[in-house]
Amino acid sequence: MTAPVSLAWLDDAAEKRRVAGLHRTLLPRTSGSRLVDLASNDYLGLVRHPEVVAGAAAALRRWGAGSTGSRLVTGTTAEHELLERELAEFVGAEAGLVFASGYAANLGAVTALGGPGTLIVSDAGSHASLVDACRLSRSRVQVAPHADVEFVETALATRAEPRALVLTDSVFSADGDLAPLQALHRVCRAHDALLLVDEAHGVGVRGVGGRGLVHEVGLAGEPDVVVTATLSKSLAAQGGIVLGDSRIREHLIDTARTFIFDTGLAPAAVGAARSALRILREQPERATAVLQRAADLARITGVDAPESAVVSVILGDPTIAVGAAAACRERGLHVGCFRPPSVPAGTSRLRLTARADLETADLDLIASVLGDVLAEARV
C-alpha cells in the first residue's frame, strides 16, 4: 500500500535520524535477565526488594488495580495521603501532593505557578519535563547558562513581571553535577522569586540518609523553595510529588491541570513507594553506598569521581556511543546511551548509574567489560 502523502515526511525524518546515529529502538527487559544493570535509575536497588513488592501487592489487593479516576474524584486513597505526609516529613517540607508521574508533577507545578505576569528563569541543563513546562506556562522564559547564578540574578533584577520562578535540577541527569542551590536561593530571596528544584536524582542519594540536596544544603522547609521529585528512581515505584509550603499544595489542587485532569497514581505504585521510603529510613547507609559505588565506576572508567549516582563517559559521536553500548550488552552489561537531544551535539556518551546493591563480582565484570569496550571506543 502506498503511504499517504501526509505521512511521507516521516520517512524523510526517520532516514535523517538513522544517518545521524539518532535512531532508537525499544529493548524490552526480561524477568530472568542476567545482565548487570548500569542503565536503570534503581539507585537503592529496591525494585525487587521483597518488602517493596509486598507493599505494592497489599495496596493492589486493598484498593484494586487502578485508581479509577482523577485525584479530585475517586483517585485519592488513604495510601496517597499517607505517602504525601511521610515523604514531606522525610525531606523536611510542610506538605506534599502526589501526581501520576514525575513529568506530570513538573508540568503541573510550573504551569500553575507561572503564567502571564511571571518570568521563568530555567537552567540550560534542566530536565525535559521542566523545558516542556516552560513552553506550556504562558510565561516569559529566559534560559540561563548552566549553573550561572549571575545570569539568574540579572534576569530577576531587571524583570518587569511582578512574579518570578527559577527552575533547576538539584542533580543534573546527564552529567550528574550539582546545582548551586544556596546561591540560587539567595538571589531568589533577594528578588522575591520562588525557587523550584527537581530532586528526581537527589532524593535517596544526596543528604543525610538520602533526604536530597535541598535538605543537605539547609533549604528544607523554606517557604520560597518548591521541591519536585519522582517515585520511580530511588523509591523504586512510579509517580511524582510536589513538596513545599501548604499554600503551594492547595494552589496546585485548584489549578494544576496535570493533577485535576489526569487519572490518579495507581495504588500499587503508592504502596511500593511507601515501602521503599520505609526501608530508606531504616537503612540510611544505602544512600552512602550509592555514592561509593559511583566512585568505583568512575575509577573503572577513568573519569572524575561524581557527586551523584550518575557517571558519564563521553565518547562524542553518537554512532560510537551506540556501538559501545551494544558491545557492553553482548558481554553481559547493560549501560545507558545518551545522544542528542538528551545531551548536546558532540557529547554522546555511556551513562552509567550506580546502585547500592552492586557487589564485588559485579564490579569485576564491569571492569573487565568496560576496560575492553572503552579501549576500542576511545581509539
Q: pLDDT digits over 88-142, tens only?
A: 999 999 999 999 999 999 999 999 999 999 999 999 999 999 999 999 999 999 9
In 48-146 the beta strands, taken as DSSP E runs, fall at 95-99, 118-123, 140-144
Same domain, 75 and 105: yes
- At 86, the pLDDT band (50, 70, 90 cuts) reads very high
User: Cβ contacts of residue 231 below 8 Å, gap of 6+?
Assistant: 98, 102, 237, 238, 239, 240, 241, 265, 269, 273
Q: Confirm whether 256 is domain-assigned.
A: yes
What's the whole-model pTM score? 0.94
User: Cβ contacts of residue 325 below 8 Å, gap of 6+?
Assistant: 335, 336, 337, 350
Give the β-pairing of 225-230 and 194-198: parallel
Same domain, 202 and 339: no
Query: Which of 282, 316, 337 is the C-terminal boundary of a domain?
Result: 282
pLDDT of residue 297: 97
Q: Which three cell numbers stand for residue 93?
A: 517540607
Q: Is the pLDDT of residue 310 over 90?
A: yes
Sort 345 into a burial class: Cβ within 10 Å, 0-12 / 13-18 / 19+: exposed
End-to-end CA distance of the chain: 46
Same domain, 364 and 299: yes
- At 3, the pLDDT band (50, 70, 90 cuts) reads low
How many independent structural domains does the chain possess? 2
Q: Is the pLDDT of residue 28 over 90?
A: no
**Averaged over 324-344, what is the pLDDT?**
94
Backbone angles phi, psi at 313, to 5 degrees: -115, 95
Instruction: Answer for the pair 332, 369: CB distance below 8 angstroms, yes or no.
Output: yes
Q: Is the pLDDT of residue 155 over 70?
A: yes
Helix pair angle (246-255, 102-113), 10° resolution: 90
User: Cβ contacts of residue 277 below 8 Å, gap of 6+?
Assistant: 83, 86, 87, 90, 235
CA–CA gap between residue 259 and residue 252 (Å, rounded): 8
pLDDT of residue 5: 84
pLDDT of residue 31: 81
Same domain, 229 and 298: no
Interior/surface letters 45-58, b for 16+ CB within 10 angstroms, e for the rest: bbbebeebbebbeb
Q: Is the pLDDT of residue 257 over 70?
A: yes
Alpha-helical regions (H) of 204-317: 213-216, 246-255, 257-260, 267-282, 285-301
Instruction: Answer for the pair 116, 94: CB distance below 8 angstroms, yes or no.
Output: no
Q: Confirm whether 92 is domain-assigned.
A: yes
Instruction: Answer for the pair 160, 126: CB distance below 8 angstroms, yes or no.
Output: no
Query: Which of 265, 282, 299 is the C-terminal boundary of a domain?
Result: 282
Backbone angles phi, psi at 139, to 5 degrees: -95, 160
We report the CATH number of the domain holding residue 71 as 3.40.640.10
Same domain, 275 and 296: no
Q: Confirm whether 28 is domain-assigned.
A: no
